[in-house]
A and B are shown apart, each in its own frame.
Chain A
Amino acid sequence: MTLEIKNLSFDYPDKNILKDISFRVDEGDFLCILGTNGTGKSTLLKLILNILKIQKGEILIDGVPAKKFRGYGDIAYVSQKATGFNQDFPATVYEVVSAGLYSKRGFMNFPGKSDRAEIEKALERVGMLEFRDKLIGKLSGGQQQRVFIAKAIVSSPKMIFLDEPTVGIDVNAVDSICCLLGDLNRQGYTIIMVTHDLSSVIHHSNKVLILSENEPCRLFATDEFLNQNYSSQYPHHREGC
C-alpha cells in the first residue's frame, strides 16, 4: 500500500496550517512526522484518514484519491486520545482489541472462533496476552498503548497511523513501544507516526518528514537526517531493544 500527498494545503478559519505539502510513502516504510505544536501533524493524519475534508491538493492511497478510496479496512489508526479514554469504562483488554475487528467484519457480524484466535495472536504480538481479562483502565499507560496497538493490528492492516502514541508514557515504556513498532515494521507493516519527541523511535524509522510553520516541509531518509546539523533541533538517543 502506498500513500502520495500532492500540494496539500489546509486552513482553519483562524490559521493557515498546512501549505503545499508533498511527499510519498512506499510499502514497508516507517515514516516519522516531526514538528512543533501547531504545525499541522495531526491535521495531516486526519486529512489522510478522511476525518477532515481536503481543501486544496491531492491525497492518493494506492493511487486512488482519498475521497474515493474504499479500502480503509486496510488502514489502522491509533489516536492521540487512545489513552485519554474513560478509565472507569468496564471493558477488558480482550473486548477492546475485539473492537478492532469491526473494519474487517462489518455490520452485525459477530466474532467467531477464528476471530478469537486473531485477537489472542494480536495480544501475543504486543506481549499483552496474559492481561487479556484485565480491565483496560487498570493498566499502566504503556500497557494501554500496547493494547491499542494490538487493536490496530488485529484486523491485519497494511498501513498503521499513530498520532503521538507515546505522550504521557514513562521513558522505559516509550522505548519498549518504539521497539514494538520497529518489530511490526520489519514484519511488513507500513508505519506512519506523528511525534514531536524523536526519543528512541528515530532508529526504527527510514524516513523523517519535518513540518515547520514558516518553511516548506522537508522529507529526509533517516540516515541523511541524522547526519545533518538539522537533527540537533530534535534531540534523540540510541536505545537497544
Chain B
Amino acid sequence: MEIFTYGFIQRAFIVGLFISVMTPMIGNIIVLKRLSSVGDALSHASLAGVAIGLCFSQSPVVAAVLFSCLAALAIEYFRRFFPRYSEISTTLVLSLGVGLAAVFSGFVKNSAGFNSFLFGSIVAISPFETAAVTLLSVMVIIISLLLYRELFYIAFDEEGAALSGVRVKTINFVFTLLTAIVVSVSARTVGALVISSLMVIPVACAMMISKSYKSNIILSVLFAVIFTTAGLVISCFWDIAPGGTIVLIGIAVLIILLPFRRK
C-alpha cells in the first residue's frame, strides 16, 4: 500500500479517474453514430503533436491537444470534398497523423518519452499535466452534460434533430473538438494507440445490459472507472503498460458479459 503514497501514483489515479469519466461520455456518441474511426484518426494526429512537441521541447500534452483539434478541423474540411465518402477524410487525417508522427519521432532525443505516449505511462505525468488534464476533463464533462439532449437526438435521428431546430452542424463540430481533446489528454496515461478502444469497450459492455440511453451512459462510465482503476493498480504492481492492461481487462469483462446480453 506504500506505493499509493507516491505523488506520481496519486496523479496517475486522479488523471485516470477523470479520463474514465469523460471518455465513455464521448464514446457513447462515437459508437452510436458509428464513428469509431474518427477516434483512431484523432489519436494518430495527437501522436504527431506529441512528436513535434518533444522535438521542440514544448509540452507534448498541449501539442497533442492542438494537433488533435487541427485534425478535427481537417476532417470537416476534407469531408466537403467527399460528401458521400466521409470515411476518406478520416483516413486522410489518420495517414497525415501517422506520417508526421513517424517523421518527427526520428528527431526526438528521448525515444522512451515518445514511446510512453504510444501505450501510456503512469510514471510520466507531471503536476502541470495533471492540472491540465483535470481542467480539460471537467470542461468536456460539463459540455457533454449540457448538450445531453442535442447529442442524443443527433445520434438517434440526425435529420429529425435538424428539423426540430437542433443546430446539427454546430453541435457536430463542437463534438468533434471534444473528441479531439479527450483523445489527446488521455494519450499520456492510457496511450494514443489504445484510447479509441477505451472509448468503445466500456460502451460495448454497457450495451450488453443497459435498459435506456441514460443507463447506458452511467454504466459505461462505471465500467470505464473499474477498468481504469484495476488497470492502474495492476500496472503499478507488475510494472506493465497501463493502457494495454486497461483495454485487456475491458475485453475480458465484455467476453464475460456476452451471454447476459439483454434480449
Contacts and interface: CB of A to CB of B under 8 A. Distances in A.
B156 A91 contact: yes
Contact of A72 (B149, B159, B165, B207): B165
Looking at chain B's contact residues, is the secondary structure mostly helix, strand, loop, or mixed?
helix
A92 B216 CA distance: 11
A103 interface: yes
Contact of A102 (B147, B159, B165, B216): B165
B211 interface: yes
Contacts of B262: 135
Contact of B159 (A79, A88, A106): A79
A65 interface: no
Interface residues of A, number: 29
Interface string A67-108: 000001100010101100110111110111011101100111
A77 B212 contact: no
A92 B206 CA distance: 15
A133 interface: yes
A103 B164 contact: yes
Find the residue from B148, B157, B164, B215 having the highest chain A CB count within 10 A.
B164
A100 B163 CA distance: 10
B117 to A, nearest CB: 33
B32 interface: yes
A84 B150 CA distance: 20
Contact of B207 (A73, A77, A90): A90
A103 B149 contact: no
A51 B160 CA distance: 11
A163 B173 CA distance: 29
Contacts of A72: 163, 165
B207 A88 contact: yes
B152 A95 contact: yes
Interface string B9-47: 000000000000000000000001000000000000000
B157 to A, nearest CB: 6
A153 B152 CA distance: 19
Contacts of A21: none
A96 B156 contact: yes
Contacts of A135: 211-212, 262
19 contacts: A49-B163, A51-B162, A77-B163, A82-B160, A88-B207, A90-B206, A90-B207, A91-B212, A94-B212, A95-B213, A95-B214, A96-B156, A99-B157, A106-B165, A108-B149, A110-B148, A110-B149, A133-B212, A135-B212
Given A79-B157, A79-B159, A108-B146, 9 more contacts: A81-B159, A90-B32, A92-B213, A94-B212, A100-B164, A102-B149, A102-B150, A135-B212, A135-B262
CB-based closest 10 A-B pairs: A103-B164, A102-B164, A90-B216, A92-B212, A91-B213, A99-B153, A90-B210, A95-B213, A103-B165, A77-B163
